[in-house]
């Protein structure tokens, strides 16, 4: 079950925004209280990124968080912490904390890594089209019109 999913407000109340959101919402036990927060200006970028991770992860048989962590580490989007005993801990950077230009650069590199090493039989255009169908957000939407 995802710890974040999107809801859309309708005259009948809040409903899952996309099929994946419906799956995630259905896993929540009846009577559970939820905290709803409004998406920030990067909501579209986050939605696109997590749809990409879900789609590629499903194709690879791994969960979206593991795939995101792997891409962040492989693409050197990490923070290293040194403990008092001298041990180092590597932690992936937060997608949400990235500035727009850094996120765009990371996304381009992540897509390239996915199609060259993880999904070599899938073209970039096909991958982006499938993610658009999943989440309703296009690559151009979050890249300022760039394709």
Concatenating the DSSP letter of every residue in 93-128 gives: PPTTTS-HHHHHHHHHHHHHHIIIII-TTS-HHHHH
Domains of the chain: which residue ranges? 1-38, 43-143
In the predicted model, is pLDDT for residue 41 greater than 50? no
Tell me what the mean pLDDT of segment 97-121 comes to: 92
Say if CB 147 and CB 138 are below 8 A apart.
Answer: no
Say if CB 23 and CB 114 are below 8 A apart.
Answer: no
Say if CB 89 and CB 104 are below 8 A apart.
Answer: no
In the predicted model, is pLDDT for residue 73 greater than 60? yes
Tell me what the mean pLDDT of segment 26-53 comes to: 79
- Of 87, 86, 105, nearest to 95 (Cα)? 105
Answer with the residue of higher pLDDT: 13 or 1: 13
pTM tops 0.85: no
Give the pLDDT score at 71. Answer: 96
Give the pLDDT score at 125. Answer: 94
Give the pLDDT score at 62. Answer: 95
Give the pLDDT score at 13. Answer: 83
């Amino acid at each position: 079950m995802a710890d974040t999913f999107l809801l859309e407000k309708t005259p009948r109340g809040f409903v899952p925004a996309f099929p994946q959101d419906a799956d995630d919402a259905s896993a929540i036990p009846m009577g559970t209280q939820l905290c709803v927060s409004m998406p920030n200006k990067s909501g579209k970028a986050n939605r696109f990124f997590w749809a990409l991770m879900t789609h590629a992860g499903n194709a690879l048989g791994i969960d979206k968080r593991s795939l995101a962590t792997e891409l962040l580490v492989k693409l050197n989007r990490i923070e290293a912490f040194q403990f008092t005993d001298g041990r180092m801990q590597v932690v992936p950077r937060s997608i949400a904390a990235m500035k727009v230009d850094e996120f765009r650069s990371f996304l381009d590199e992540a897509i390239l890594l996915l199609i060259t090493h993880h999904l070599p039989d899938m073209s970039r255009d096909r991958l982006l089209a499938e993610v658009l169908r999943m989440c309703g957000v296009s690559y151009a939407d979050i890249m300022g019109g760039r394709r």
